[in-house]
Structure 1
Amino acid sequence: MRTGRRAAHRSGRRAAHRSGRRGGRSNRAGSCAGARVAGSRGRSGRRISSFNGSAGQAPPVCQIVGYKNSGKTTLICALLPYLSAHGCKVGVIKHDAHDFEADREHTDTWRHRQAGAAAVAITSPHRTALIEERRSTLTGLLAAMAPYDYVLVEGFKAAGYPKVVLLRTEQDLPLLEAPNAAAAAVWPGNDRLAAAVRKTNLRLFSIDDTAAIAEWLWQQRFYFQNFNI
């Protein structure tokens, strides 16, 4: 009897997941605040039931990856207004291969850290910051982004989330093999880059066509959400 119930439960979850993905693809015109998608439970057991940043929901994730000076930050900054126009609260995560300093010297939080604080948090009526003296994983950072509607990730080439890879020179072509690469944004002036992308199943964009890339990200939001459960 228990085996039968477990089998029926698994079958029901698979049917709900398929139904949710079909429903998500058909509702591409709505805003983040109004769209709904029926989904399955993630690894943590939380139900992915809506697309409005509510508790218990994981946002869709897309990585923007490329080598140095390929335009990652510039592209993300150009995409943000388009996604925000859909009513999305967008979070951004950036990977830095070197050390960085986000605090200002001689501020109170800087002094706390200099005195030995392992973590410092500061908040105001309009802004909150948390600085920790430790490395964070992408999974952990995404968990902190759960309240947001969409997350763009700059870097983390080896991670398994959907990616837009940026191609500026032919030396960048190995990025076409990056895990879950879904699209390529190509710098103009090199037809061989576009020709190489056309030999793959990846969506091809010009890196200057920000509106088209943003619209594609919006259309793919429910599919991308499936990678963050």
Structure 2
Amino acid sequence: MKVYGVTGWKNSGKTGLMERLVAEFCARGYSVSTIKHAHHIFDVDQKGTDSYRHRAAGACEVLLASGRRVALMQELRDAPEPPLAALLARLSPVDLVLVEGYKREAHPKIEAHRGETGNPLIATDDTSIRAVASDAPLDLDRPVFDLNDTGSVADFIQGELGL
């Protein structure tokens, strides 16, 4: 599987770019999966459901299945957060895995950047960031794309990965 990341600071446009890239690569005929890093506690399950009750009772894993979707919830309890490589190994094979976040990992990435946030570029100190997608002009030693030019960003990633 080919892996490419979208990174950036909060409110930089990462999720919007990810969403557009998934749609673009799917439209190009590629199978795509995503991994999203969350810095906060989250729950995809609803309190009171049977699967929630199974987890609350102490189950390490709960697999919820229907004719349309399968969801595997794994409780870490006191275990450390799995590294990105371990999460990638859990995925079914696809053409491309797009990873949102994980800015400190070594996989190739594009940085989403919005000038209005005032955040510094991560790319200036990180060679794993191969390009930047920004809403403001930038003078960098690597390609800079318009944040909303999804086609050009996808072309770049496709070329980088040899898809």
Which residue in 2 is equivalent to 1:219?
159
Partner amino acid for 1:113?
Answer: R
After superposition, give the CA deviation of every residue in 1:79-107 in whole Å (9 maximum; x if it has no partner). 11110022211010011111111111211
Cα contact 1:66–1:175 (8 A) shared by 2: no
Match of 1:140 among 86, 102, 123: 86
Cα contact 1:62–1:152 (8 A) shared by 2: yes
Partner amino acid for 1:84?
Answer: C
- What TM-score results when the alignment is normalised by the length of structure 2? 0.89
Return the alpha-carbon distance in structure 2 between the equivalents of residues 146 and 179 of structure 1. Answer: 29
Displacement of 1:108 in angstroms is: 1.1
Which secondary structure does the structure 1 equivalent of 2:121 belong to? helix
- What TM-score results when the alignment is normalised by the length of structure 1? 0.64
Which residue in 1 is equivalent to 2:50?
108
Which secondary structure does the structure 1 equivalent of 2:52 belong to? helix
Cα contact 1:60–1:222 (8 A) shared by 2: no
After superposition, give the CA deviation of every residue in 1:154-192 in whole Å (9 maximum; x if it has no partner). 00111000010122235322333224110101123xx3x
Cα contact 1:163–1:182 (8 A) shared by 2: yes
After superposition, give the CA deviation of every residue in 1:5-42 in whole Å (9 maximum; x if it has no partner). xxxxxxxxxxxxxxxxxxxxxxxxxxxxxxxxxxxxxx
Higher strand share: 2
After superposition, give the CA deviation of every residue in 1:41-67 in whole Å (9 maximum; x if it has no partner). xxxxxxxxxxxxxxxxxx111110000
Higher helix share: 1
Which residue in 1 is equivalent to 2:60?
118
Which secondary structure does the structure 1 equivalent of 2:119 belong to? helix
Displacement of 1:133 in angstroms is: 1.0
Which residue in 1 is equivalent to 2:28?
86
Displacement of 1:112 in angstroms is: 0.4
Return the alpha-carbon distance in structure 1 between the equivalents of residues 42 and 17 of structure 2. Answer: 21
Q: 4+ residue runs of structure 1 moved beyond 3 angstroms?
A: none
Displacement of 1:146 in angstroms is: 4.5
Q: CA RMSD in A?
A: 1.6
Aligned ranges 1:35-54 → 2 under 5 Å:
none
Percent identity of paired positions between Structure 1 and Structure 2: 35
Which secondary structure does the structure 2 equivalent of 1:215 belong to? helix
Cα contact 1:91–1:152 (8 A) shared by 2: yes
Structure 1: gaps spanning 5 or more residues: 1-58, 224-229
Match of 1:176 among 124, 144, 148: 124
Check 1:213–1:129 CA distance in 2 against 1; reply closer, same or farther (3 A cut): same
Displacement of 1:215 in angstroms is: 1.8
Cα contact 2:4–2:98 (8 A) shared by 1: yes
Structure 2: gaps spanning 5 or more residues: none
Partner amino acid for 2:123?
Answer: L
Q: Quick check: which has more Rg, 1 or 2?
A: 1
Displacement of 1:222 in angstroms is: 2.7
Return the alpha-carbon distance in structure 2 between the equivalents of residues 204 and 211 of structure 1. Answer: 13
Residues matched between the structures, number: 157
Check 1:222–1:145 CA distance in 2 against 1; reply closer, same or farther (3 A cut): farther
Q: Which has the higher contact order (CA 8 A, sep 6+)?
A: 2
